[in-house]
Amino acid sequence: MNTITSTTFTATATVGLYKSYSKELISINTFKKALCKAQEEIKKEFNVALSTKMTLCQIIFLGQEEPSVSLDFIQYPKFPKDEVVLQEAIMQLVQLLMESLDQNRIVIVFQNETICLEKSEEIDPKIQL
């Protein structure tokens, strides 16, 4: 048996399943299609194949309850890439998902930093600050 090892690199992004701040639910099938399309674009632009683990979850925050999907990315040992390129590719993939799924804000957690991508400063009106 062959063993392939690489330096650990992980990133996680959580994407809400409501379009914008409405109650219009994005289906899992629609989400998967958007993810696959974004993965194809990233492969073309960065030459990076981003294997993505999808986990259903919920965002709960001060009155906001939103079904969501958590996306987990790793440095896949069989096809290693420079970590700077991986981070750029993940950020671009998340931006593509933001556009195609009508999201205002998505947070990406990397090992050494957390990045919030947002189109506007608007927040969900259900959040009671």
pLDDT at 127: 87
pLDDT at 107: 97
From first to last of the 129 residues of the chain, give the pLDDT tens digit.
999 998 999 999 999 999 999 999 999 999 999 999 999 999 999 999 999 999 999 999 999 999 999 999 999 998 899 999 999 999 999 999 999 999 999 999 999 999 999 999 999 888 898
Which region holds residue 51: left if phi is over 0, alpha if psi is between -120 and 50, else beta?
beta
pLDDT at 8: 92
Cβ 51 vs Cβ 57: under 8 Å: no
Provide the token pair at 41: 């674009």
pLDDT at 41: 98
